[in-house]
Amino acid sequence: MKVMLARAWGDPATLEYADAPTPRPNAGEVVIEVRAIGCNFPDILIVQGHYQYRPELPFSPGCEVAGIVRGLGAGVTEVGLGERVFATMAWGAYAEVVAVDQRHVYALPDFMTFEEGAVFGLAYQTAWCGLVHRAGLRRGETLLVHAAAGGTGLAAVQLGRALGARVIATAGSAAKLEVARANGAEVCIDYRTEAWVERVSRETHGEGANVIFDPVGGDVFDGSTRCIAFEGRLLVVGFAGGRIAEVAGNRVLLKNVSVVGVHWGLYRQRDATRVRRWMVELLKRAEARELTPVIWRSFPLERASRALAAIAARESYGKVVLIP
């Protein structure tokens, strides 16, 4: 089979389209013939060696797939041969065939395409983990979503709207703001041309946002501490901006703010049963068309480097897909 391999730490342009042995299932594993692969910003970081964990070289990046079950290890009960499924992985998704622990494999609903299934797991799970589990977002609250046209940002916009929040979105172009607006954002702010901290304050009558979803960090995090409400919850989702901000303790104290980490991958690793419960709720909302994956573009698997370059350069919105 073919895979995209990282043989050394570096830019995604160094990924190699190579041959690899087709995996066989161990006990409890499901072998999936991959039809679509979701690309994510952490795929770039893991290839560079800058992510929270470093796989042993060589390895294939990627953490989301959808496809058809072609093999079952001993003890597998969650899915059957020939079933359409989607799955999440720690890494290894940029391949024509993958083997995944059954705890992280889900039946793909009839109303979803392979492409939609391949991009559903990480973004919507992260949004649910942050907004529902960690922040307890309530109907009528104001939710501020940064990088709102990205894959995870759009998932947060859609879920926030479905939960009854008023959603304020920031993004870096008029086109991306229109994408956010079409997916449920009520107020859209171009952070490149507008003083977004002051605008958030005006839009909330000086109160600030109750929940802030921040996958960017750095200056965005700093600004968020200035426009958050009393007892607000500032969700630290990632550091796409490159700088890991430091918390000003006085700002946390003065408004009784909670700065809350959202590392969904650790829930996947430590509590797969809880994650499956979240997925049941997410799929119900997807069936009701409250949550609909937005796919910017698909690339052949061998052009994975180009797909990741588009994400790194902020060309894309929503999700980017690879097709083996």
Domain of residue 56, CATH code: 3.90.180.10
Whether omega for the bond prior to residue 58 falls within 30 degrees of 0, making it cis, is yes
Q: Does 288 or 244 have the greater pLDDT score? A: 288
- Do 110 and 134 fall within a single domain? no
Number of domains in the chain: 2
Q: Which of 152, 159, 148 is nearest to 63 (CA)?
A: 152
Domain boundary among 213, 243, 264: 264
Strands 105-107 and 142-145: unpaired
- Do 102 and 127 fall within a single domain? no
Kindly state the average pLDDT of the residues 96-108. 98
Decide: 12 and 51 in contact? Cβ < 8 Å.
no
Amino acid of residue 308: L
pLDDT at 239: 85
**Backbone φ, ψ for residue 48 (5° rounding):** -75, -15
Res. 244: pLDDT tops 90: no
Decide: 135 and 214 in contact? Cβ < 8 Å.
no
Share of the chain above pLDDT 90, in %: 93
**H/E stretch holding 177:** helix 174-182
pLDDT in tens, 20-37: 999 999 999 999 999 999
pLDDT at 248: 81
Can you give the residue range of the structural domain that contains 114?
Answer: 2-120+293-323
Question: Does 77 reside within a domain?
Answer: yes
pLDDT in tens, 169-203: 999 999 999 999 999 999 999 999 999 999 999 99
Please classify residue 186 by burial: count the beta carbons closer than 10 Å to its beta carbon, then call 0-12 exposed, 13-18 middle and 19+ buried: middle
- Do 179 and 73 fall within a single domain? no
- Do 134 and 258 fall within a single domain? yes
Question: Which residues, in sequence order, are CB contacts of 42 under 8 Å at separation 6+?
Answer: 51, 63, 238
Please classify residue 33 by burial: count the beta carbons closer than 10 Å to its beta carbon, then call 0-12 exposed, 13-18 middle and 19+ buried: middle
Taking the model in full, what pTM does it have? Answer: 0.95
SS (H, E, C) 207-244: CCEEEEEECCCHHHHHHHCCCEEEEEEEEECCCCCCCC
Grouping H, G, I as helix, E, B as strand and the rest as coil, residue 71 is: strand
- Do 131 and 91 fall within a single domain? no
Q: CA 71, CA 98: separation in Å to the nearest integer?
A: 10
Paired with 146 in beta bridges are none
pLDDT in tens, 126-169: 999 999 999 999 999 999 999 999 999 999 999 999 999 999 99
